[in-house]
Structure 1
Amino acid sequence: MPIRYQNYAEEHEIFELVGNMMESLLLNRPADPLNYLISYLEGDNRRKVTVAVLGPPGAGKTCIAQQLAHITGVPIVSKLAQLQNNDPRYRYGYILDGVAESAEDVIVLQEAGCILDYVIYLHGPEELLRARQKDKWTDQTTGTVYHPVFNWPADELVANKLVKIPEKPFADEFASHQVKKDRVLQTYGHILHKINADQPLADVKKIASEIVSQRPMSKARVVTKALLLGPTGSGKRLVAERLHRNWGMVPIDLKLLIEQEKLNKTRIGQEILRNDGVVTKRALEFILKDRLEREDAVMNGWVIYSYPVECIYDLGEAMASTNIMPNRTVVFQLSENSIVERLANRMVDSLTGREYHALYNPATAENIRNRLVKREMDDSVSVKKRVNSFNNQLADILDVLNDTDPQMINADQDQNVVYQLVESKLAKPLPSKSFDGYAE
């Protein structure tokens, strides 16, 4: 499939639309599927959010459910029966307050066609939960639940009209929850978010709100196309190699592809040689299209990690003009001193080509030390020049790519930590035109 088709489908969220249509069709099973799909496309089929707030007694489920209902504008559901009558109030979403506490409840939800975007599980020490379960009060006008220790209202008028909630037997309810919770949490593991309730209520509300404000994970298959930006020596190659091993993404070394064009004396290679090695935007466009439109890159995604530092801006323009754009841009941040320490201490065995480092991987044998040479590119002056060249072009390439939210990574850490950070950024759901989050 030509890459322009894939780009169009991702830009207009076609995969997501088709997935939602099929989901709705199978859940409702209309007698006339064709007319149902036509009505689906013509109608208002937005779905704001579907959340389940779960946890043991005393964890604060109702308070969090009320907070989420407030910021999303969808109603709270406290009984399964409410979702079994096709009530139009729940068409655009709902917050489940303590519903789906057992495997049997989960089955009922699934049979009713209730598909959740998020499951928030509140947990905390048993003694804390026991204390919170006692002495609860409610505002019968708003339904808000209060506790004298944890969230008593500052407004005296509100406090004076509160009604005490009859206490429930904590021990039996807590024990029952402990028995049932594992099967429920396993079912929703892919959308599960655990929050420690043993902290100020305002902090718990903030964490829950941030979770729901993030776009739900897409059900459509998304091909990750990543551009790793960073100065020389920041560790981009190591990350790209691990992404290839773990994710199957195709690692793209533009410097190597350019050298292959020159060695093979292709039309583009000869053009570069005639220009004294200068790589033009036109040459980059050809090389990008030739490599990234191959089947392995289209199907598995790609990660560009290496490029001539002097033409980073031209790379951005070439990507924009060919419409071969990354959907993830990760910027590796590293100080100049750290980069000089990494590169200026590198030495190469002139016989074997093996690389050593004076600080991190020194040669132990004297005969090897005698053969070590420093490459001109690893001289501290040369390193600083390349770092400055990259830093001067970074803002421009981000502007060309129209990337207002690049993922920043502190690359001055252990390489395993850096890789995990990059992986978490790539796994984050893509921005959506139809989902802007929720504001409190």
Structure 2
Amino acid sequence: MDDTLRPLRIPPQISVYADKHNVCHLVQSMVTALVLEQPEDPVSYLLDFLQRSSPRCPRVMLLGPPAVGKRTLANRLSATLEAVHVSAERVLQGQSEQEGSAEVLVQLLQRRLKEKDCLHRGWVLEGFPQTRLQVLQLQQAGIIPEHVVMLEAPEEVLLERSRGKLIDPITSDVYHQIFVRPDDDTVALRLERGRGLSDQQLLAELQHYRCEVTALRSAYQHVLKVVNGDQPPADVYLEALTFVRSHCHFRTPRILLLGPPGSGKSQLARLVAEKYKVVDVSCGRLLRSVAADGSGRGAEIQPYLDDGRPVPDSLLLPVLEDRLSRVDCSCRGWILHGFPHDLQQAAVLQESQYQPNRVFFLEATDEACLERISLRATDPVSGQRYHAVTRPAPGLEVQNRLQTAPEDGTEPVTQRLKVFRMRSAALQSVYPDAVYIDADQNPYSMLEALESRLYTS
């Protein structure tokens, strides 16, 4: 093969070092700061930046319609993260109405977020920005969040919360006469009815928010988590905290999916790859690709595929190692499924330079797996896979030409499930920190469960 056509490979030690020392996050933070601040002396600026900035300082925005619970959530998050709770209301204290314009507010926020406590502890910014213009002003001022939590709730819920709002006059904490009561009786006795918006005022502000929410979502789509605010405050808090604690370490994702056949590994891997731009590495698909490329190694692999026999590790491992060493996997990360199948393969993977940094076990019953596999078939014309229950063929013509693979029959699937159950305990022992996901739910719920643990430390 012409050397210019060989896939570029990066030594795996580089990725391991970058993960260990959080290099990606460090470089991203420095480049972002340089572009936004544009200092005259970049070298001196970066030296000062490295000395004064903590790479783990949270930068969180909480957005949402009025009365959705932003302040309550901001109080809890800032206390847990030991970050500074910043709001437009607090920043504007002491300012006259004429001095409280949007431009002045952005200037005050910029000044506040560059104070020592915010630089060293991080910040939680509540309820701002509210418009696309304010987003632009914040970006121009260099105020860039790492996480944006957007709360949502139905109109009737917001109205009910606004009507029952209670305020602690000492701490300014917000409660509700029915839904959110303080644990301390002393606090409960001193609560006062909040001077909130009338129903008409709240509906007007809600209409304004709806006009702007699409722009807000678009501006922060890459760092956004939408949370249902119509649930107990403790659940809202835990969901937001899980998200905010993600991306603490900007590791290159090396994700391993394990689970019984039919648990949905391939579909989940596809969704993760599409959203996070990691490389979807299916061991079975990889072997078929190598077998079809006409190489000497492919010729050795083909007979095993033809007979339905497992490809020996002596042939499989070099193929997998070759794929994981390519530049796309090294730079973007990967999600691997279809390997390992047993304890020996898992041990080899762990001892290599390609050990995963996130492992997920998909859990599903044999009955559910059997139904998923035995009722699926493939269209030989388009290559699309359909399922008699969850994804039926779009028409009679396609239905009539569908083909079911021999290995998807009831007896072969039952045998494969039996083998997996025999080996699963050994695999679990190799990955004691693995995350378990209920695979008896729709793929997007599985994706959300995976995402919540993808970047957490």
Shared fold, TM over 0.5: yes
Equivalent of residue 395 in structure 1, options 425, 429, 433: 425
Following TM superposition, by how much is the alpha carbon of 1:378 offset from its aligned partner in structure 2, in angstroms?
5.4
Using the alignment, how far apart are the partners of 1:357 and 1:116 within structure 2?
Answer: 42
Q: Please name the residue that 1:105 is paired with.
A: 134
Whether 1:331 aligns to 2:361 is yes
- Separation in 2 of the partners of 1:197 and 1:342? 34
Q: Secondary structure at the match of 2:31?
A: helix
2:345 corresponds to 1:315:
yes
1:8–1:52: structure 2 CA closer, same or farther, 3 Å change rule? Answer: same
Partner of 2:454: 430
Structure 2 partner of 1:145: 174
Alignment-derived partner of residue 252 in structure 1: 283
Q: Matched residues in 1 for 2:42 and 2:177: separation? A: 55
Residues 403 and 6 (structure 1), Cα distance of their counterparts in 2 relative to 1, 3 Å cut = farther
2:63 paired residue number: 54
Kindly tell me: are residues 8 and 254 of structure 1, through their superposed partners in 2, closer, same or farther at Cα, counting changes over 3 Å?
A: farther
Letter in 2 for 1:8: Y
What SS does the aligned partner of 2:67 have? coil
The yes-or-no answer on 1:291 pairing with 2:315 is no
Contact preservation (8 Å) 2:256, 2:360:
yes
- Counterpart of 1:252, as a letter, is C
Q: Secondary structure at the match of 2:256?
A: strand
Tell me the amino acid that sits aligned with residue 10 of structure 1.
D
Deviation at 1:374, TM superposition (A): 10
Q: Secondary structure at the match of 1:84?
A: helix
Distance in 2, matches of 1:186 and 1:68, equals: 24
Aligned 8 A contact 1:330 1:422 in 2:
no
Are the aligned partners of 1:344 and 1:379 in contact in 2 as well (CA < 8 Å)? yes
Give yes or no for contact 2:287–2:319 (8 Å, CA) kept in 1.
no
Q: 2:321 corresponds to which letter in structure 1?
A: K
Relative to structure 1, the CA distance from residue 20 to residue 300 in structure 2 (aligned partners, 3 Å threshold; closer, same or farther) is: closer
Matched, 1:191 2:223: yes
Residue in structure 2 matched with residue 118 of structure 1 by the alignment: 147
Hey, what's the Cα distance between the residues in 2 that align with 1:278 and 1:123? Answer: 50
Mapped contact 2:251–2:455 kept (Cα < 8 A): no
Q: Superposed, which structure 2 residues align to 1:65-76 within 5 Å?
A: 65-76=74-85
User: In the alignment, which residue of structure 1 is the partner of 2:434?
Assistant: 405
> 1 CA distance for matches of 2:187 and 2:405?
76
Segment drifting more, 190-199 vs 139-148: 190-199
**Residue 72 of structure 2 is aligned to residue 63 of structure 1:** yes
Query: What does 1:380-391 align with in structure 2 at a 5 Å threshold?
Result: 380=411, 383-391=413-421
Question: 1:386–1:82: structure 2 CA closer, same or farther, 3 Å change rule?
Answer: closer
The one-letter code of the counterpart of 1:187 is: A
Q: Do the aligned partners of 1:132 and 1:147 also contact (CA within 8 Å) in 2?
A: yes
Specify the structure having the higher radius of gyration (Cα).
1
For residue 260 of structure 2, what is the aligned residue in structure 1? Answer: 231
Q: Deviations over 1:20-42 (max 9, x none)?
A: 11122333333322123233334
Q: Residues 366-412 of structure 1: CA distance to partner in whole angstroms, max 9, x if unpaired?
A: xx9xxx999699573x6544433322222323433x451234342x6
- Deviations for 1:128-165, whole angstroms, at most 9, x for unmatched residues? 53454347543333222344344354645334444555
Quick one: structure 1 residues 38 and 300, their matched pair in 2 at CA, closer, same or farther if it must change by over 3 Å?
closer
What do you get for the CA RMSD once the two structures are aligned? 4.7
> 2: distance between equivalents of 1:232 and 1:24?
47
Are 1:118 and 1:192, in contact at CA under 8 Å, matched by a contact in 2?
Answer: yes
Kept in 2: contact 1:233–1:343 (CA 8 A): yes
After superposition, the Cα gap between the structure-2 partners of 1:303 and 1:31, relative to the gap in structure 1 and judged at 3 Å, is closer
Say whether residues 1:87 and 2:115 are aligned partners: yes
Distance 1:316 1:403 in 2: 13
Cα distance between partner residues in 2 of 1:159 and 1:244: 49
| Contact in 1 for aligned 2:407/2:413 (Cα 8 Å) | no
The separation in 1 between residues aligned to 2:373 and 2:192, in whole angstroms, is 69
- Say if 1:118 and 1:212, in contact at 8 Å, map to a contact too: no
CA distance in 1, matches of 2:358, 2:282: 14
1:11-30 correspondence runs (5 A): 11-30=20-39
**Distance (Å, rounded) in 2 between the aligned partners of 1:198 and 1:346:** 38
Q: Which amino acid aligns with 1:317?
A: A
Q: Structure 2 CA distance, aligned partners of 1:113 and 1:306?
A: 44
8 Å contact kept, 1:74–1:94: yes
Mapped to 2, the partners of 1:356 and 1:141 lie a distance apart of 61
Q: 1:422 to 1:4 in 2, by over 3 A?
A: farther
Deviation of 1:123 (Å): 4.1
C-alpha distance in 1 between matches for 2:404 and 2:224: 54
Structure 2 partner of 1:436? none
Aligned residues of 1:69 and 1:75 also touching (Cα < 8 A): yes
Query: Counterpart of 1:286 in structure 2: which amino acid?
Result: P
The amino acid across from 2:284 in the alignment is: D
Which amino acid in 2 is paired with 1:84? R
Unaligned runs of 5+ in 2: 1-9, 89-104, 379-384
Counterpart amino acid of residue 426 in structure 2? D
Question: For structure 1, which runs of at least 5 residues remain unmatched after alignment?
Answer: 349-354, 434-440
Q: Residue 283 of structure 2: SS of its match in structure 1?
A: strand
* CA offset digits 1:213-246 (Å, max 9, x no partner): 3355659987654433333455555666787889
Take 2:143 and 2:177, find their aligned partners in 1: how far apart are those partners? 36
TM-score (norm 1): 0.71
CA 9–398 in structure 1, closer or farther in 2 if over 3 Å, else same: farther
- 1:56, 1:174 within 8 Å by CA — same for their partners in 2? no
